[in-house]
Each structure stands twice: as C-alpha cells, then as structure tokens.
Amino acid sequence: MVDMTRSHTNAVEVRGLVKHFGATKALDGVDLDVREGTVLGVLGPNGAGKTTLVRCLSTLLVPDAGTATVAGYDVVKHPRQLRRTIGLTGQYASVDEKLSGWENLYMIGRLLDLSRKDSRARADEMLERFSLTDAAKRPAMNYSGGMRRRLDLAASMIGQPAVLYLDEPTTGLDPRTRNEVWDEVQRMVSEGATVLLTTQYMEEAEQLASELTVIDKGKVIAKGGVDELKAKVGGRTLKVRPVDPGQLPAMAAALRETGLDGIAGSTVVPDEGVLYVPILTDEQLTAVVALLGSRGFGIAHIGTHLPSLDEVFLAITGEKTADSDLSDAINEEVAA
Amino acid sequence: MSTTAVTPSKSPAGAPRKASPRTAAPTGSSRIGLRANLRHIGALARRNALQIKQDPESMFDAVFMPVIFILLFVYVFGGAIAGKGNQAEYVNYVAPGLMAMMGMNIAMGVGTGINDDFKKGVMDRFRTMPIARSSVLIAKIVVEVGRMMVATAILLGMAFLLGLTIHTSVFGLLAAIGLSLVFGASLMWIFILLGLTMKTAQAVQGMAMIVLMPLQFGSSIFAPPTTMPGWLQTFTDYNPLSNLADASRALINGGALAHSVWMTLGWSVLITVLAAPFAVSKFRKKT
C-alpha cells in the first residue's frame, strides 16, 4: 500500500532518527515520510517526542543517530540550505511580542532577503490574508491567543516555504479559534504546501491530515492513511459498562478464554469503567453478548459503534494490560 | 536551482513554493554574503530598537545612571579627594573614569537581556531562518552601543555643567568616547556569554556583580591608585577599567597616553577574540 505512493516525491524523509537527552530517549529510531503536497499528522501524547522530532527537522537539534532530509537537504550536512525551505510554527507563538504584527512580518521579510519594498508589500498582504490588518500596528503582546497564532502562521508563510512544520498549532486555543487555524492550514494545503503537523488531538489529525504516523515514547507505533488505520483496528467496537467496575478484569479474562478472533484486543479502561471489545463479525457479536450474559455479569450499558480516531489511538498507545497484542498486530500490518 | 527557486517570489498571496526538485541537490550557496549579513543585522537591530520604543523604561538606566553617579561621586568624594570647594577639579578626574564604568554597566544589562530573550519563541524562529546566527548577537550589540552613546552624552552633559573642561581638543574627547565604546562592545561579548550560559536573568545579574565590583573599585576610576598598597596597585595597573579611565583622562586632560590606549585596545581585542566565538557557538547549541 505504502509502495504505491512511492511514485510521488517525498518532501521529508526520516530514517532511524534517534535523539537522547541523558537517559530519556526522546526519539528512539523514528522512520517517516511526508509526500510532497500532503499533510502528515504526527499523533502522540505529551512527551511522545513530537516536538523533539520537529526540532530535529528544523535544525534546532542535532540528532544522535539516523538521517533526515527535507526537500533533499540533510538536516546535519546542509542545515543552511534546509532552513531556506522550511517554515516553523511552534507550540508557543514565535513572534516578537513587543513588536507590532506588521513589524514582525516586515522583519522576517528582510531576514529572508526580500527588498524593503517587497517586505512591506508582503507584510501587508499576509496581514490581509490572515485578517490581521486592523491589528497591524498593535504590539503582538496585546493580541488574543488566536490572533497571535495567526500572526505566527503568517510569519512562517512569508518565505513561501516548501515544507511547513506545525507543532501543535491549536494547543491551548478555544474551539472557535482552533477552527480558524484549521481553515488557514487547509487553505495552505489546497495551495500545495507540504505540512508536517504534530498534534495530540485526533479530531485535528482527522480534519487536516491524509496520513498519520502515531508515535509514543520516541517510537513509531503505527502509520498509514487515516481510513486505513481505522480499518486495521477493526470494524465495530462493542462498548460494555458493567454495573460493578470491579468486574472489568474478570469480564476481559472470560472473553479471552473464548479464543475468538480479535478478542485479545479487548481494552479495559478503568477510568471510564468500560470494556472495549473489537468485533469482526455479527456471529462474534452474538457470541460475546451471549457469553457475558451466561456468566452472569451485571451490565449497565452496552452498544456498538465504529471506531473514532481517539479509540484507534487509545487502542495503540493505551495501557499495556490487554491491548499490547493489538498494537503489535497494527505495527506488523501497517508499518511493514 | 536553489538560488532561483529559493528566493521568495512576488507571487500572489501566500502560495507556497513547491519543494525544490531534488535533481540539483545540495549545491546551492550555503554561505551568507557580507551584504546579506549586514541586511540581517540591520533588520534585527531595528527589532531591538523598536523594543526600546515599546518599552521606554528600559532606557532608565542609560538616562539616569550617569546623572546619579556623577552627582554622587563629585559631591561625596570630590571634596575629600581634591579638597573642599575644589569639586570642579575632581570632575575632570572622575568623568573620564565614569565613562568607563558606564560602558561596563550597560554591557552587564546585555547579559540579562539575552537571557530573557532566550525564553521567547522568537529565538527559535531566528535559528530556523537562513541567517548567520552571529547576526542576532551582533545586532544586539549594535543597539546597546547606541544606548551607551546616549548614556555617555548625558554623562558628559552633566560633567560640563559641573565644570568639566577639555584641556586637549574636541578630537581628544571624541577619541575618548570612541575608545570607551570599543571597550564596552568587547565587554558585551562576555556578558552575552554569561547570559547564554546561566539559567536565569537573576543569576546573570548576581554573577555580573561579583565580577564587576572589584574591577570597578579596584581601579583608577574614582581615586588615584598612588595611595593604594603595592599589590592593589599592581592589580589596578592591569585592570582594563583603569587602563580605559587613564586613557580617557589623558585624551581629555592631556598627558602620556600611549601605554593606556594600547592596553585598552589590547584588552578589547583579547576579550572579543576569546569571548565572541564562545558566545556564538553557545548560541548555536542552545536548545
């Protein structure tokens, strides 16, 4: 499946990237590709290594091992040329707060070797595009969170970078502002930008990315298309909430004894007091429900639904209780 | 390919450039030319200057310190050193010394400024842009030298009010100012290095005081070293602040100046050559 896409050029290629901070393995052998003109979502919880990855790819950190190229430039061997091809919008807005929006953009134009005239024109243009014209003369410190993030995006776009990194671009934003940022990113992509987006929000990845790489503890634990990944996790999931949450382990154990296909991937989520059971066929569904009834478990709620990306993620990165088999399976099938 | 494909064109709106074709891979110019470098320094210096405009309180030290210092020293020590009623004489002694001290105090501020600046995301942006990383630091120094000129002008203005007389020529005075600025700029590299090395601005300030106090007071800035014990005289002889104060004094009041001028220039070059590369490499590696 992945091979079919190889006919396109990869704007970003990462192979076996390693970065350790003392004993912490922030990146522990990461492989990923971003095809030109697409959005790759890098999904992972806090501390998964997403920001370290972006910092390596933008020459802010030198990796300990492995290789990474962006637009054909190696991050270690050709950092200067590489910097000409990238734009970075970090978790924290990287604009000068004491300068006005216009001054920020003008400065970046000048740093990118635009003439004074072009820098001025470009600053005006970008402010207009990101709906910041009214706030052009105000210092960025007086901007709202969303405005600041938009200014940050505008700053990253001044040089028309071939590859744009968005490191958790909507973390800490309210839903309305988040939608504004999403619209902007979608627009950039429709204009042909290649984007590497890190996020901990499944909804965001689903909205913006065509392909996903899921990382946890510095390792890639799954990768593939958004739909592909959903399909791999299985069709439906049965959600069972027992009357007594204390029965969850017993229920999971009883199901495992049946040896039904895919049942080993059942996940206990104690916080929610819920057991998730992957369901492959109608017969299986019947069998599971019948079994739970015959064992006399008191059930408060039961229902099936198609997996959301949240659940895909939970299934892969969740506790090592029941889902380790599933994550291994996904690794083998999808990452191969 | 890279030079043409890479220069942002005037194409409409924010249309991103396609990733450059990989056929001609990394042959593009990697070094940044002198003119581009000066342009970058200019743009970054403009940033630092605009920050001052936005935050005028940051000029308080440059504006008030010279006024307070010269009033204090002339009226507290002046009588004791030059004799009661002869404070005006002491002005000619202490004002050139205070020029040296002013430079050092302003330079100290650079360290805390850099430390604060680093806590902000904008540094990440600079470091992911195709500019020489030293240009960020040089731009800071350019603007700080400007601040130092303001402080020196105010100091001299006050000194003239208190009775400073130029015994040489206006060129001597200008040379003294120039020498102070050169030495002050070299000191900034040390404080930038400190600012990049230490964790907090407070720590930088504390460390700076420890270094500064003995240098400032163990010098010829405030009083002639002739009454000091021998070991201290040896220290003041090599103390660059003494050298600078003596040189400025000679340039304004006349007298032998070759030794002190050369010592000051030597110190400036030595400090810059030692501290600047370390500061730039620290800046490069800072995460």
Q: B10–A111: do the CB atoms touch at under 8 Å?
A: no
Task: Reduce the DSSP state of residue A37 to 3 states and report it.
Answer: coil
pLDDT at residue A286 in the model: 86
Q: What confidence tier does B66 reach under pLDDT thresholds 50, 70, 90?
A: very high
Query: How much is the average pLDDT of B261-272?
Result: 94
Rounded Cα distance between A266 and A279, Å, is 9
Mean per-residue pLDDT of chain B = 83
**A245 and chain B: CB distance < 8 Å anywhere?**
no
Strand partners, A20: A25
Rounded Cα distance between B135 and B32, Å, is 11
The ranges of chain A with pLDDT < 70 are 1-8, 93, 230-235, 262, 306-336
Q: What confidence tier does B189 reach under pLDDT thresholds 50, 70, 90?
A: very high
Domain locations along chain B: 32-285
Q: What confidence tier does B273 reach under pLDDT thresholds 50, 70, 90?
A: very high
3-state secondary structure string, B87-133?
HHHHHHHHHHHHHHHHHHHHHHHHHHHHHHHCCCCHHHHHHCCCCCC
Rounded Cα distance between A42 and A22, Å, is 24
Whole-structure pTM value: 0.76
Rounded Cα distance between A127 and A136, Å, is 7
Q: B128–A88: do the CB atoms touch at under 8 Å?
A: yes
Rounded Cα distance between A15 and A29, Å, is 7
* Predicted confidence (pLDDT) at residue B170 exceeds the cutoff of 80: yes
* Predicted confidence (pLDDT) at residue B10 exceeds the cutoff of 60: no
Domains and CATH numbers, chain A: 3-229 (3.40.50.300), 231-335 (3.30.70)
Q: B55–A98: do the CB atoms touch at under 8 Å?
A: yes
Question: Which residues on A lie below 8 Å from B117 (Cβ)?
Answer: none
How many angstroms separate the CA of residue B7 from the nearest CA in chain A? Answer: 8
**Cα distances (angstroms) measured from residue A6 to each of A1, A11, B29, B184:** 9, 12, 29, 58
Rounded Cα distance between A314 and A306, Å, is 14
CB pairs under 8 A between A and B: 147
Q: A157–B7: do the CB atoms touch at under 8 Å?
A: no
Q: Residue A52: name the closest of A91, A82, A87 by CA.
A: A91
pLDDT at residue A28 in the model: 92
Q: What confidence tier does B29 reach under pLDDT thresholds 50, 70, 90?
A: low
Place of tokens 């502002």: A177
Strand partners, A27: A19
Give the residue with greater pLDDT, A323 vs B202. Answer: B202
Rounded Cα distance between A96 and A103, Å, is 9
**Cα distances (angstroms) measured from residue B99 to each of B116, B130, B148:** 27, 38, 9
pLDDT at residue B278 in the model: 92
3-state secondary structure string, B96-109?
HHHHHHHHHHHHHH
* Predicted confidence (pLDDT) at residue B113 exceeds the cutoff of 70: yes
Q: Residue B243: name the closest of B258, B264, B222, B270 by CA.
A: B264
CA-based nearest residue in chain B for residue A93: B121
Task: Reduce the DSSP state of residue A335 to 3 states and report it.
Answer: helix
Query: How much is the average pLDDT of B102-119?
Result: 82
**A217 and chain B: CB distance < 8 Å anywhere?**
no
Length of chain B: 287
DSSP code for A6:
G
How many angstroms separate the CA of residue B190 from the nearest CA in chain A? Answer: 24
Q: Are A164 and A180 in contact (CB under 8 A)?
A: no
* Minimum mean pLDDT range among A64-68, A78-82, B138-142, B216-220: B216-220
How many angstroms separate the CA of residue B4 from the nearest CA in chain A? Answer: 12
**A186 and chain B: CB distance < 8 Å anywhere?**
no
Q: Are A159 and B131 in contact (CB under 8 A)?
A: no
pLDDT tens track for A175-209 = 888 888 888 888 888 888 899 999 888 778 888 89
Q: Residue A87: name the closest of A62, A68, A70 by CA.
A: A70
Q: Does ipTM surpass 0.90 in this model? A: no
Chain A segment 246-265 residues within 8 A of B by beta carbon are none
Helix extents (H) in A202-247: 202-208, 226-233
Query: Angle formed by the axes of helices B134-161 and B87-117, to 10°?
Result: 160
Query: How much is the average pLDDT of B244-269?
Result: 91
Residues of chain B with pLDDT > 90: what percent? 37
Q: The tokens of A175 are what? A: 């839903």
Q: What confidence tier does B3 reach under pLDDT thresholds 50, 70, 90?
A: very low
Q: A110–B43: do the CB atoms touch at under 8 Å?
A: yes
**Exposure string over B100-130, b if 16+ CB within 10 A, otherwise e:** bbbbbbbbbbbbbbbbebeebbbbbbbbbbb
Query: How much is the average pLDDT of B40-62?
Result: 90
φ, ψ of residue B262 to 5 degrees: the values are -65, -40
pLDDT at residue B14 in the model: 44
Rounded Cα distance between A55 and A63, Å, is 9
pLDDT at residue A319 in the model: 42
pLDDT at residue A282 in the model: 76
Rounded Cα distance between B4 and A153, Å, is 24
Query: How much is the average pLDDT of B163-174?
Result: 90
Q: Residue A323: name the closest of A190, A201, A194, A234 by CA.
A: A234
CA-based nearest residue in chain A for residue B13: A125
How many angstroms separate the CA of residue B213 from the nearest CA in chain A? Answer: 33
pLDDT at residue A308 in the model: 61
